[in-house]
Amino acid sequence: MSSVRLSIRSVLRAPVLAAALFVLVNCGGSDEKPVAVNPANEPPVEVLYNAALDRLAEQDYEDAAEAFDIVERQYPYSVWATKAQLMAIFAYYMTNDYDLAIGAAERFIRLNPGSKETPYAHYMIAISNYEQIADVERDQGRTREALTKLEEVIRRYPRSSYAQDAQAKLALTQDHLAGKQMSVGRYYLERGHYVAAINRFKVVIEEYQTTSHAPEALHRLVESYLSLGVIDEARATAAVLGHNYPRSQWYRDSFAMLEGRDLIPEEDEGSWISRTWKRIF
């Protein structure tokens, strides 16, 4: 059967393929009957649907998506139309046509708000945005959209396998957004725009403190504060950096900067960095 051949090919994009196979298995083989009307003497709905599944199993995803769309157009009020909508989402995703996948998923949710497969549609919207995450040097609008949709899946369906995969992807998404803030912050720092740089590095600490960019953000804050002559904040930030990342090169660099001015890291309870870091951790 087509569903068996599809499962054998589940080697790439494993979470997405597993989700699609789950939908396929749970939608297929039902005792539900298609509508009796055969529009314009078209082939029976089962024939059209199985032909689309064959295209999917053969990894001919573009033709599969078109074939599933035909099923829905020819038999719009049958149970097969709903199944075809779901599989079309997956087929569009596999052709890397993520905008069409998102559009198909949004349409499914709109037409079938109470369906048990709605979580799958939300998940496909999230990962279709995730697949379009750009390099950190480019605009991160798509990355922010991916973050929002991944968080939505986790919030709506916390016990689902979709939430587990979304959680894993969330970390990379946050890392990209933090990386963008760091890139802009470094740009300002190199040009002596210290207040603007500080504002960018503070975003990393306040919003993306669990990412890999946090140690550097703390160091750059030390550097920026020293450049402005804001000594107490520089020392307090270095203290937070040393407490949390004592073996990092970023702490060694910050310590050397302070030492060069006969200063040492020192925690300051009144500093925003001390309050923020304690609140977060």
pLDDT tens string 215-244: 999 999 999 999 999 999 999 999 999 999
Q: Is the pLDDT of residue 39 over 90?
A: no
User: Tokens at residue 4, please?
Assistant: 């068996």
pLDDT tens string 164-219: 899 989 988 999 899 999 999 999 999 999 999 999 999 999 999 999 999 999 99
CA dihedral 218, 224, 230, 234 (to 10 degrees): 20
User: What CA–CA distance (Å, rounded) separates 177 from 184?
Assistant: 11
Half-sphere exposure of 255 (CA within 13 A, CB side): 13
pLDDT tens string 125-137: 999 999 988 766 6
Cβ-contact 187, 214 below 8 angstroms:
no
Residue type, 137: E
Q: Is the pLDDT of residue 12 over 70?
A: no
Q: Is the pLDDT of residue 21 over 80?
A: no
Per-state percent for the chain, helix, strand, coil, to nearest 5: 70, 0, 30
User: What CA–CA distance (Å, rounded) separates 23 from 105?
Assistant: 13
pLDDT of residue 225: 97
Domains of the chain: 2-132 (1.25.40.10), 194-280 (no CATH)
